[in-house]
Amino acid sequence: MSGLLFVVTAPSGAGKSSLIRAALAEEPAIRLSVSYTTRAPRAGEQDGREYHFVDAPTFEAMVERGEFLECAEVHGNRYGTSQKVIDDTLARDEDLLLEIDWQGAAQVRRLYSGCVTIFILPPSVDELGRRMRTRGLDSEAVIARRLANAHEEMRHAPEFEYVIINNDFETARRELLGVLRAERVRTARQLTRHPRLFDN
């Protein structure tokens, strides 16, 4: 497999999805992996675009068949990444980005030692709470649970190769895009993808 695998993680509300969409709009050679989840779609979300939305029995059957590269429970819902999609994409020498939580990222690191890991941090937990309330997607009880979990999630940021602090969206977008582009042109990757150029 010669495709490059990016793993991007952040606590809920840190702006991960918006940053990824903005960066990939300028780097179309990188494909976004669509995970499976048992949570209900939010307003504006479409099945197959943000997630593959499935019920709990369907998800459990996929687990039992060994279809997931990684799966985890986050905020009471289950999430999983298709092993076949990842392997097929990388085998085609295509680059792929996974948007997953820190538990899933740890599982992926063990299986794909060459993956590139990126953690997106909010400027503070207080600001994270403000952003959650501003977007108006969750109840106060859900927000309180997400903020409590954010403390644990942010403890794992040092395990990642890159950390981007999303204080200013445009700055964070440029930083994420810079990491994606720089990693794609590392010498080791160019040697693998263009061996004839180096032989000459």
Query: Can you tell me the distance from the alpha carbon of 89 to that of 66, in angstroms, rounded to the nearest whole number?
Result: 18
- What pLDDT is attached to residue 122? 92
- What pLDDT is attached to residue 9? 95
Strand partners, 68: 82
Low-confidence ranges of the chain (pLDDT < 70): 1, 200
Tell me if 48 is assigned to some domain.
no
Query: Can you tell me the distance from the alpha carbon of 171 to that of 175, in angstroms, rounded to the nearest whole number?
Result: 6
DSSP string, 134-152: HHT-S-HHHHHHHHHHHHH
Domain of residue 125 covers 5-33+94-199
- What pLDDT is attached to residue 144? 87
- What pLDDT is attached to residue 42? 87
- What pLDDT is attached to residue 130? 86
Cut 0.95: pTM above it: no
User: CATH number, domain at 147?
Assistant: 3.40.50.300
Q: What is the number of structural domains in the chain? A: 1
Tell me if 158 is assigned to some domain.
yes
Tell me if 66 is assigned to some domain.
no
Tell me if 23 is assigned to some domain.
yes
Tell me if 65 is assigned to some domain.
no
Query: Can you tell me the distance from the alpha carbon of 71 to that of 7, in angstroms, rounded to the nearest whole number?
Result: 14
Tell me if 153 is assigned to some domain.
yes
- What pLDDT is attached to residue 164? 97
Give me the helix-helix angle, 125-135 and 140-154, nearest 10°: 150
